Amino acid sequence: MVIEEENYCKEYTGFEMMLVSACRQIRHDDVVFNAFHWPFLVVHMAKLLRFPNLFTVMEVGLSQNEVPKPDKMPYSIVDPVLVPNSVFVGDSIDALSILQRGEITLAFLSTSIIDKYGNGNTTVIGPYKKPIYRLPGGGGATEIAGLANRLIWLLDDHSKYRFVEKLDFITDPGYLNGYDSRIKAGYPLNSGPEAIITPLCIMRFDPFTKEAYLDALHPNATIEQVKEETGWNLKIADEVRDIKPPTMREIEICRKTMKDAIDQYYILKPEWTKYLEK
């Protein structure tokens, strides 16, 4: 019998660890809202790795529970290759209504900036009227964050600039001002951010204050480093768990997915892809 440790990958990037760690949060019976960009890669990996028949819904109005076609990775959630591989195609309102009816059990989202209550900003950096940096706007992320049962944020860069005490603009509702403010605003009881996954760690949310705290560390990251790179005074779990490194199988699927994504014009930073075969 092979000793389990030997199956773990030794060299991998923080970005790869983030994708793998996110993939492990999916349960076999989840109904997943499949959003553009990093979430799309995570769901793609999950279908190849563990759950080929995972039920996924996309905001353009399409539902699937089939393994991706091998010839071409979709370049986005609107790729026409998705259509003949789907069980339902309708209007955007169909997909968003699935969400509003409370049928989406899990969603991943990436965002530009996040605060300690898990609110996201993809609208503007600086004053709204005089932006330093204009961002795209939220698209469907506003309702995904508002209405999915479990929301998992993916932040590819764990730094003070991305993790801030207070946002310039709330595009995507997390726990708003913490405590019961999200419920008071009218969002479903069983909804809201469950975790933030970064190259360094997994944060979860205090059940009472709804503030994000450090729950588990990715290998090679330290508590001090996470605290240093977070823009608020981050609270730490009494016992910080250690997350296992990617298995050889996980990293193989992860790298294949990344490679296919690059072929479809995703931009991945060189430091994320240094172990990809050229």
Site residues for other proteins per CB under 8 A: 36-37, 59-62, 75-76, 78-80, 82-84, 89-93, 96, 99-100, 123, 128-129, 131-134, 136-140, 142-143, 146-147, 169-173, 176, 181-182, 185-188, 264-267
Q: Computed from CA positions of residues 263, 269, 275, 278, in that sequence, does the dihedral angle turn out positive or negative?
A: positive
What is the nearest approach in angstroms of other proteins to the Cβ of residue 27? 24
Q: What spatial distance separates the first Cα and last Cα of the chain, rounded to whole Å?
A: 33
Complex with other proteins: residue 240 or 276, whichever CB lies closer: 276
What is the nearest approach in angstroms of other proteins to the Cβ of residue 211? 17
Complex with other proteins: residue 61 or 246, whichever CB lies closer: 61
Place of tokens 């991998």: 12
- Residue 59 annotated to the active site: yes
Q: Computed from CA positions of residues 220, 224, 225, 231, in that sequence, does the dihedral angle turn out positive or negative?
A: positive
38 membership: H or E segment, kind and range: helix 38-49
What is the nearest approach in angstroms of other proteins to the Cβ of residue 39? 13
Taking alpha carbons only, the member of 160, 164, 176 closest to residue 117 is 176
Question: What is the rounded (10 degree) CA torsion for 30, 36, 40, 43?
Answer: 0
Contact of 230 with 160, CB cutoff 8 Å: yes
What is the nearest approach in angstroms of other proteins to the Cβ of residue 117? 11
Task: Spell out a b/e string for 197-222, using b for 16 or more CB atoms within 10 Å of the CB, else e.
Answer: bbbbbbbbbbeeebbbbbbbbbeebe
What is the nearest approach in angstroms of other proteins to the Cβ of residue 92? 5
Complex with other proteins: residue 133 or 224, whichever CB lies closer: 133
Q: Which residues contact 251 (CB under 8 A, 6 or more apart)?
A: 9, 12, 16, 20
SS3 for 106? strand
DSSP 8-state secondary structure symbol assigned to residue 275? T
What is the nearest approach in angstroms of other proteins to the Cβ of residue 75? 6
33 forms beta bridges with: 57, 107
Catalytic residue among 4, 6, 16, 59: 59
CA atoms of 157 and 165, how far apart (whole Å): 16
What residues act catalytically?
59
